[in-house]
Structure 1
Amino acid sequence: MGNSESTAEMHRVFNSAAEAYDQSGVEFFGPIGRRLVEFASIERGQAVLDVGCGRGAALFPAGEAVGDTGEVVGIDLAEEMVRYADADARSRGLTQVTTQVMDGQVPDFPAARFDAVVGSFSVFIWTHGAAELRPYRAILRPGGTFAASAPSFFPTSTGKWGFLPEVVHDLLLPHLTQPKDGDAYDCPFTNIHNNWLVTPEAVGKTLTEAGFVDVTVREEDLPIVVDSGAQWVAWTRSHGMRRLWDRLDEQEARELAAEVAGRLDALRSADGTITLPTPIVYMRARAPQA
């Protein structure tokens, strides 16, 4: 479980990112959220909790899946995320969707409250093992589904982390994984080669230790398409990776951004775009039947 300092840092990062979050023109969180809802087999009439709902990538597809006879509750630590998600839910006419500010590490709901709990690119940020996953099992009804998506920590054939484009991997990874003085954000990135997401077997073992059954783990590539290396850099500043840039002084950030953009621009295809296949991990498990 994250400590109070890391929780405060998560709150700061995602509150400050909320206005630009998933608004850069790069298709990423939306496709992942839709795929997660499909992977979780959300059905009409179900009660669903979206943990770390952000601006609604999984929240809105889940709302459409449960229909007007179901219910979807989105929770997020960042008030600004909740504000945007709530406004968008209202504009879409999704009256079955509600949102509230809540720490996803400590979901404050009665036991057996939901048919499904989903977390699209959220739960991985603060979970380090089975103990942090057990609260989600507790609020599921018997046989209910837990499903989450995360960047792939599975090593590629070259031993690198596939979520970062290979040509900039060695430039960026140290800034994501090496702690700096006073850095309280206790994220799995800091232990990238030894955490519960590093192999399909580790994911399955952790979910089983958390009390889940019928575990399925799948890695799928999502192509990220950008017009330039600079657009990719801007995209990383619009979500949780902005913390990478926040940790640098102005000159260091400017130099690093220029180097990253230049390397990515060398990958342009004939039509002028850059396509970066990005591995995403989807996991699904069930609460035991009573």
Structure 2
Amino acid sequence: MRPELQRRVQRYGWDYSSPYYEKGWQLQLWPAQKRLLEKANLQKGEKVLDISCGTGLVTFPIAETVGPEGSVTGIDLSEGMIEKAASLADKDSVSNVSFQRMDAEKLDLPDDSFNIAINSLGLMYYPDPDKAIRETYRVVKPKGRAAALVWGRRKECGWTDIFPIVDRRVESDVCPLFFQLGTGETLQKTFRKAGFTDIVSERFDMKLHFDSDEQAVIAAFLGGAVALAYRKFDEQTKEEAHAEYLESIGSYRDETGYDIPGEFVIVSGKKFG
């Protein structure tokens, strides 16, 4: 897929998923995202960039940690995500956050602006992750740092049949290299090429709990990467796809719902200065 087309697919796909993203993923992703923020070692008063912030799932915890003397700028390619995040900030009167629609591969931000940049589960969707990490390096201050969370290896993530299930019904090519960054040392090498030093990597497993069939379906089809392709399904196709997906995760079901395995990778590094 051409880079400009992939960006368009990502932008409008996440626009469509923004109303469902929190319901499908907030509780499920928080343990991994919390671990990312712990590794980031955020400090009071720091100026933070949250790249691919979505609806603010990590933006708001960051804002609380850095306190009123600090600040967080959340950026995302999806206008729907940014609008949702901004409305939540207004609703809860969070004054030390701001949100802008922006391409992670072309940050409209000055050099050496932030103490730390965070990227939680955004890098897998970019046409050129290397360029995005170079841009991250550029906007971080000397002696500043960056930390990123990505999904791990495909074989270790129990929900991945969603991609072929959708692709069999409508061609999507949502993220052809989705799991590449979480395989081997790919993400560490990307950080190193961008100029980061003192690189630390951690790979870990976590279960994603979904209370019901409905919640699992919302997360997979409406709240995630295939939302744009899913819009093309008629009602019968939707029902067939739902049934096939639920069958694919059936082995992870018990009396409490689904506990689906997921593997994650966190990589962090520092900017020389």
The two structures share one fold, judged by TM-score above 0.5? yes
Which whole-Å CA distance do the structure 2 matches of 1:282 and 1:205 have between them? 13
- Aligned positions of 1:1-290 closer than 5 A: 3-24=3-24, 27-126=27-126, 128-152=128-152, 154=153, 160=155, 162-165=156-159, 169=160, 171-175=161-165, 189-191=175-177, 195-199=180-184, 201-236=185-220, 237-243=222-228, 245-246=230-231, 250-269=235-254, 271-289=255-273
Which whole-Å CA distance do the structure 2 matches of 1:4 and 1:263 have between them? 33
How many residues align structurally? 272
Could you say if the C-alpha distance between residues 218 and 25 of structure 1 is closer, same or farther in structure 2, counting changes exceeding 3 Å?
Answer: closer
Say if 2:200 and 2:268, in contact at 8 Å, map to a contact too.
yes
Q: CA RMSD in A?
A: 2.7
CA deviation after TM superposition for structure 1 residue 246, in Å: 4.2
Gaps of 5+ in 1: none
Please, what TM-score do these two structures have when normalized by structure 2? 0.87
Partner amino acid for 2:3?
N
Say if 1:22 and 1:29, in contact at 8 Å, map to a contact too.
no
Gaps of 5+ in 2: none
Say if 1:32 and 1:57, in contact at 8 Å, map to a contact too.
no
Q: Report percent identity of matched pairs.
A: 24
Partner amino acid for 1:103?
D
Could you say if the C-alpha distance between residues 103 and 267 of structure 1 is closer, same or farther in structure 2, counting changes exceeding 3 Å?
Answer: closer
Of Structure 1 and Structure 2, the greater helix share is in: 2
Say if 2:249 and 2:260, in contact at 8 Å, map to a contact too.
no
Partner amino acid for 1:57?
L
Counterpart of 2:249 in 1: which secondary structure?
A: helix
Say if 1:124 and 1:150, in contact at 8 Å, map to a contact too.
yes
1:109-167 Cα offsets, whole Å, 9 max, x none, are 11100000111111221054533310110011111111111111x25xxxx2x2234xx
Asked which structure has the greater RCO (Cα within 8 Å, sep 6+), the reply is 2
Which whole-Å CA distance do the structure 1 matches of 2:38 and 2:89 have between them? 19
Say if 2:54 and 2:81, in contact at 8 Å, map to a contact too.
yes
Counterpart of 1:99 in 2: which secondary structure?
A: strand
Could you say if the C-alpha distance between residues 24 and 131 of structure 1 is closer, same or farther in structure 2, counting changes exceeding 3 Å?
Answer: closer
Partner amino acid for 1:163?
C
